Chains A and B, each alone.
Chain A
Amino acid sequence: MITIAPVRKQVTVAASQQRAFALFTTEMSRWWPATHSILKSPLKQYIVEPCVGGRWYAVAEDGSTGQTGYVIEWQPPQRLVLAWQLSGDWQFDPELVTEVEVRFIAESASSTRVELEHRNLQRMGEKAMQIRGMVDAPGGWTAILEHFKKCAAG
């Protein structure tokens, strides 16, 4: 079993726990790096529906949408677990679930430590292996990859 260590990050912000949680979730479009949109058109909104099972998705200026995942746990203002369902090549894959847990720890009334953990990353690799196993037939994935290689080389 191959595992990949989770990505862990933390940042301390000058805001209350409530404010930090609200900005992170309901106002994600205000801070999400524009360079990291999976949509072709510029990002207009990035939405986390505020409940367990709620969708996490992007809306582009041209109206197209792209799902990133869904809400696994919703505990405002302390904790949030999101499913990140983008594969290594940035495609939404409903069968792939990696978890992003975000904890908001109040250090004072106006200071909050935000801890983020993105885990189960090896599932991205396992998923790629499964795809490789499934489409081995001539004209299947191998042919697509050959084509890709030619395009990449040419």
Chain B
Amino acid sequence: MLLKLAWRNIWRNKRRTLVVLTSVVVGVVALLLVDTLSVGMLKQMVDNQINYHISHIQIHRKGFSEDKAIEKHIKDYLKVDSVLSSYSQIKIYSKRVISYGLINSAYSSSGVLIVGVEPWVEKDFTMISKSIVQGRYISSDGEILIGLKLAEKLNLKIGDRAVLMVSDLNGNLISNVFRVVGIYQSPSVNFDKVYIYITLKDAQNLFNLGDSVSEFAILLYKAELVNSFKEELSKALGDEYEILTYFEIGPFIRIMIDMYMEFIWIYYLIIGVAVMFGVINIMLMSIFERVKEFGVLKALGMKDSKIFSLIVLESLLIGSLGTLIGLLFGFILYVPLSRSGINLGVFSESLALFGSGRIIYPVLTPFTLFLLLFTMPFISFIASIYPGIKSLRLKPIDALKYI
């Protein structure tokens, strides 16, 4: 019954209530958009890292990640290969040779990270093969795939020759000629400048590695199992190896995620307080209009606590109703955006720096949903306390003072 009374009371002054509702709606929609966009951006950064190179787990000889020297290759590659093939959680894994070198064109030279891969495996493994902007993915020896930024820098086109120069396992300076068959473009400019692809065989020959490899990269069926699977692997493979999850490889992102978690609530708080002022205002206006009425209710025997609850309930109704409508509008905006994304082309260069790509897809997490559902009702609850207390202390005579 109290609920019915509260509901009717809110609508006594339609315009006033609608205005406050609108402010709640605006607040909720704003927060929804800001939050989902931030999360979307972060998720894309992580996904891009995983999909373009890192994958879920990487296995190296211990110490490799610090210093990608060719000497730190995996000697016991056969053992690792057999261990990995026994696991059903692994969707696919790939063998790579990775080390530094210098690439020379007729025009210029640049320091690069040479990645030797098995094309038929790697093709489905990462997004690189799907990000070819000119030419095609490598398929046989003697071919090389480079990033767009690097191609621009070295003035290389499809069909051109490039020389790779490295210091091999024995310390000798080795060079070899390759033909550019493809140019790719990833969301991260820094990636494009540095990573080049040749066949595993070519790389093994170049560095004089025999059949050895530097890295095993693994993609799991379920990304969430990454940490527990890593534990299993460590036990199975032992101490000589370092087994890294994508989080450990890219701490930069982890930190950005932490920053987001720590700061996002501030935005909720600020908007919440702004809305709170409006709610307090109308609740106060509303109780002062009803001074006589409260007097009558009290005379009829209604307890103070009930009157207080009534005020709180009215305020909560406004906050909750506003939240629901806000979420409705928010979803109407969010759903198409989550499909088409927001094109931030204007900021393309800096987004390429962050590695998130120029089209950002907003992402709604349960955490965000919770915050959205909780914030406004909570704020309106807090807002009702002062008016609630005031309503208990009102005497009908006071009504004359407030014209």
The yes or no verdict on A and B being binding partners is: no
